[in-house]
Amino acid sequence: MRILLKPDVARSLGVVLLKPGSELLGIFRHGRVLIEPEPASMAHLPSGRVPDARQPLSQDKSLEPFFIDGRVIAAAGGLPSLEFWLEHNVHQCQYSHSEYHHRELVTMRHPPGTMVLCWHCENQLRDQTTAQLSALARRNVIDWVIDTVRIKLRYNKERELALAELCWWAVCAGVGDAITESMAERSLLLPTEPFLSVYKESDIAPSVPATSILQREMALVKPIEIPPAEEHPKVLTLAADPESPESFMMIWKRRRWVCKSYTDWVKTQVCSGCRRPADDPHHIIGHGMGGTATKAHDLFVIPLCRVCHDELHANVAAFEQKHGTQLELLFRFLDRALGIGVIVKA
């Protein structure tokens, strides 16, 4: 793709060739795209698409103990949820210190979280523990927790998460104990007490810890019931019947499989298209499904928000070009449902 600059700039620079790559090419099909020289404030960012919103909390070093706390990670969905988030948001090897990268991507767990690596780098780094890998895993955990909180609070991608909102989510999720004293002071807007070199005995008075104020408020809030990371709710239980009556018939009548508890759970997940909270369980259409008496089984559904659901039914080809085919989205969603124990054996 060629980009022509303003005449005064074009005379000095000539024609600029832009190669956005397959990951960014879809952006150019949906409206205007602003391309400008790198400002000094973004010099630390890697090349590519600029995030929809800057999240200053992710850069705050004092908040790292909260983000990597095991209780916070479990409340956000656990490491399986982090891996699912990475698969949809990271499309290249995150280890930039290798000259060769294989095209196949895998996830590798490393305390305190996980990361996306190519097959070659994963083989090289599988048994290593370095500061670089720890920093990369920590960065993924922080970005994922912030994005999860944003989705839970039903904010769009352009919303900048505030510290008070992060603390509110922690209290509602039942992990208010992970909030540090400095976080509580800042979220409650308490004045910082100066440290004097000399104190009079009459001036020494114990202050009320900010976390104790939050503890009193937490007693009034009913925490959301979040199962432990290793114990996921068993929404759907399956069993095989190799001797069903229809399997012995030359001409058999199709019995559509229905499971309301599973479709109710599906629509509580994030949208497979835009990653916002879902509204509907979309039954796969096409591929012989969706016609008269051929509506897909309730197992063949993916979560979609109302906007993406309407977009898919209006133009299936455009939706699949933007987000991937329905079969790809279904495979990923079923893989996650099986992986977190929502679909289990009878």
* 87 lies in the same domain as 31: no
List, as one string, the DSSP characters of 161-228. PPHHHHHHHHHHTT-GGG--HHHHHHHTTPPPPP--SS--GGG--PPPPHHHHHHHHHTTSPPP----
Residue 200 resides in a domain:
no
Residue 201 resides in a domain:
no
- What tens-digit pLDDT sequence spans the chain (346 residues)? 333 333 444 444 455 556 666 656 666 665 666 666 666 666 666 666 655 557 888 888 989 999 999 999 999 989 988 998 998 888 889 988 888 888 888 899 999 999 999 989 988 888 888 888 999 999 999 999 999 998 888 887 778 888 888 988 988 888 888 888 888 888 777 666 666 666 666 555 556 566 666 666 555 555 555 444 444 456 777 778 778 887 778 887 778 888 888 999 998 899 999 888 888 999 999 888 876 678 888 899 999 999 999 999 999 999 999 898 999 999 999 988 888 888 887 6
Give me the long-range contacts of 33-39 (CB less than 8 A, separation at least 24).
Answer: 35/3
* 22 lies in the same domain as 67: no
* 137 lies in the same domain as 275: no
* 217 lies in the same domain as 337: no
Tokens standing for residue 153: 């609070």
Residue 333 resides in a domain:
yes
Residue 47 resides in a domain:
no
> Is residue 53 within 8 Å of residue 159, measured between CB atoms?
yes
- pTM of the predicted model over 0.85: no
Instruction: Please report which helix (H) or strand (E) contains residue 237, including its range.
Output: strand 236-238
Residue 48 resides in a domain:
no
* 145 lies in the same domain as 159: yes
- Rounded to whole angstroms, how far apart are CA atoms 73 and 242? 41
* 288 lies in the same domain as 161: no
* 278 lies in the same domain as 336: yes
Cα dist. 37→4, 22, 41, 243 in Å? 14, 22, 11, 67
Q: How many domains does the chain have?
A: 3
Residue 14 resides in a domain:
yes
* 188 lies in the same domain as 240: no
* 153 lies in the same domain as 270: no
Residue 331 resides in a domain:
yes
Residue 310 resides in a domain:
yes
* 66 lies in the same domain as 170: yes
* 225 lies in the same domain as 240: no
Q: What is the CATH number of the domain that holds 249?
A: 3.30.40
Cα dist. 162→96, 298, 329 in Å? 31, 39, 32
- Rounded to whole angstroms, how far apart are CA atoms 232 and 268? 15
Query: Domain boundary residue among 182, 215, 230?
Result: 230
Q: Which domain holds residue 36?
A: 2-42
Cα dist. 290→64, 266, 286, 300 in Å? 48, 19, 6, 11
C-alpha dihedral, 4 to 6 to 12 to 16, nearest 10°: -20
Predicted pLDDT at 294 = 81
* 150 lies in the same domain as 266: no
Predicted pLDDT at 3 = 35
Which 3 state secondary structure label does DSSP give 286? strand
